[in-house]
């Protein structure tokens, strides 16, 4: 039965990809890029987990693959729902682009300042999961505002190519680009997404179908290679050592197929453990993750921070060790499949549908009504949506709220107060 669910997952992913390729502009939309993530991140691990289940029982294996199918299908279902006219009206903020330019400069200054502090800070890591702790987490939090500035100035550069816009596009993109060169996967995706979507929004640039299909195949190879090489990947590329890249690819895929370290195994065991205990969070851990991200324990005190968290559910490492004789590797993720299941059981897949519905409204507002606020929010949320699958739904809420706060402040300052919101939006295209 596991093979049946795996094959069904492949068919659903191919359906999501086919939906995009049929009308090539859809490659920038939620069902397509989530289908790309499922087929490049989850499907290879599904093969590996079936071949080497280890501590994962047959029932747990079938369950995680079934949840994968539900979640992938939910990406399309949520996106196909009719948009909310009130949401569209509120999203369509009239922006004074001169003010937005100044707001972008402030965001650049913030990113560069905290990037300087981070460069002179010793990184502390948690012994439990390998995550950053201490002041570095605060600095990195504020650095990410530079990504919003990068989106602002790339749009400005494409609309009005001139030396000033070019300089600020480069300045805003440098902190993000430095993370790309360190071999980090999310910043790499964020960097590419901001540029790609900006070209579509302003110039309506659409790559060929052959290039899109090639990119999906390449991404399937690069995801494990980036994890294997980190910054060494770009060292090999710039030195022209393609044999080294190929060798690293072979090692990465060999390790993947051995199935010794798999995020999908983490998900399968956590889902099975949750089903065994019958204890669900009902969204509480997502609240906890927001508190973890936005409340600095170093400033308000860790006891106060902990008092704001509900801590109803979480990863029960002791149960995983006692029941399955399994200790997740340091820094391992449990994926959004497990994260959503631990909150709402099988209904957790609707989390992906909700995110899809949000993207549907943003797409219509950004593309058909040309809302600058929606354009910036859309390109800022694509990478977090992918992290919702690879890391967890809680990660999505963290980064979505971050975008809303900082982009909201920039938009509030930049709003053209001589004009009102567009309320009569009418119909939108197909």
CA distance 21 to 328: 37
At residue 214, does pLDDT exceed 70?
yes
Tokens of 282: 């009902």
Model confidence, pTM: 0.87
In this predicted model, what pLDDT tens digit does every residue of 87-124 receive, in sequence order? 999 998 899 999 999 999 999 999 999 888 888 887 77
At residue 429, does pLDDT exceed 60?
no
Residue 132: its H or E element: strand 132-133
In this predicted model, what pLDDT tens digit does every residue of 286-332 receive, in sequence order? 999 999 888 887 788 888 888 888 888 777 778 888 888 888 887 77
CA distance 81 to 409: 29
In this predicted model, what pLDDT tens digit does every residue of 54-78 receive, in sequence order? 889 999 999 999 999 999 999 999 9
At residue 355, does pLDDT exceed 50?
yes
CA distance 198 to 379: 8
Q: Mention every residue, 6+ apart, whose C-beta is less than 8 A from residue 8.
A: 69
CA distance 203 to 19: 23
Query: Between the CA of residue 231 and those of 72, 223, 342, 391, what are the distances in Å?
Result: 31, 13, 34, 21
Cα 3 off chain centre by:
28
At residue 134, does pLDDT exceed 80?
no
Per-chain mean pLDDT for the chain = 85
Higher pLDDT, 368 or 125: 368
Asked if 343 and 316 touch (Cβ cutoff 8 Å), the reply is no
Higher pLDDT, 173 or 138: 173
pLDDT of residue 350: 97
């Amino acid at each position: 039965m596991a093979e049946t669910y795996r094959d069904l997952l492949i068919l659903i992913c191919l359906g999501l990809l086919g939906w995009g390729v049929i009308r090539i502009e859809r490659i920038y939309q939620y069902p397509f890029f989530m289908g790309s993530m499922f087929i490049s991140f989850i499907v290879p691990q599904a093969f590996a987990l079936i071949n080497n289940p280890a501590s994962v029982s047959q029932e747990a294996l079938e369950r995680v693959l079934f949840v994968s199918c539900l979640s992938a299908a939910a990406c399309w279902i949520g996106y196909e729902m009719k948009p909310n006219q009130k949401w569209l009206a509120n999203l369509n903020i009239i922006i004074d682009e001169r003010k937005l330019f100044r707001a972008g400069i402030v965001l650049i200054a913030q990113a560069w300042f905290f990037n300087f502090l981070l460069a002179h800070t010793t990184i502390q890591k948690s012994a439990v999961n390998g995550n950053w702790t201490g002041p570095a987490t605060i600095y990195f939090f504020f650095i990410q505002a530079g990504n919003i500035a990068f989106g602002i100035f790339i749009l400005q550069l494409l609309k009005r190519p001139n030396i000033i816009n070019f300089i600020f596009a480069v300045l805003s993109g440098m902190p993000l680009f430095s993370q790309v060169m360190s071999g980090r996967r999310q910043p790499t995706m964020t960097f590419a997404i901001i540029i790609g979507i900006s070209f579509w929004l302003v110039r309506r640039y659409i790559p060929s179908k052959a290039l899109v299909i090639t990119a999906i195949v390449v991404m399937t190879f690069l995801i494990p290679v980036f994890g294997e090489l980190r910054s060494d990947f770009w060292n090999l590329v710039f030195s022209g050592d393609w044999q080294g890249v190929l060798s690293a690819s072979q090692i990465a895929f060999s390790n993947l197929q051995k199935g010794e370290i798999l995020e999908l195994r983490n998900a399968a065991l956590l889902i099975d453990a949750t089903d065994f205990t019958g204890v669900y969070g009902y969204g509480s851990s997502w609240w906890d993750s927001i508190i973890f991200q936005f409340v600095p324990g170093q400033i308000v005190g860790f006891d106060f921070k902990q008092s704001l968290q509900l801590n109803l559910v979480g990863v029960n490492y002791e149960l995983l060790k006692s029941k399955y004789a399994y200790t997740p590797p340091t820094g391992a993720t449990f994926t959004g499949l497990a994260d959503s299941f631990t909150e709402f059981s099988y209904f957790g897949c609707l989390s992906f549908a909700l995110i899809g519905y949000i993207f549907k409204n943003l797409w219509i507002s950004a593309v058909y009504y040309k809302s600058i606020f929606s354009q910036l929010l859309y390109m800022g949320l694509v990478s977090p949506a992918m992290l919702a699958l690879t890391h967890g739904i809680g990660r999505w809420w963290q980064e979505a709220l971050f975008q809303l706060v900082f982009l909201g402040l920039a938009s509030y300052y930049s709003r053209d107060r001589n004009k009102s919101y567009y309320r009569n939006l009418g119909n939108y295209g197909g």
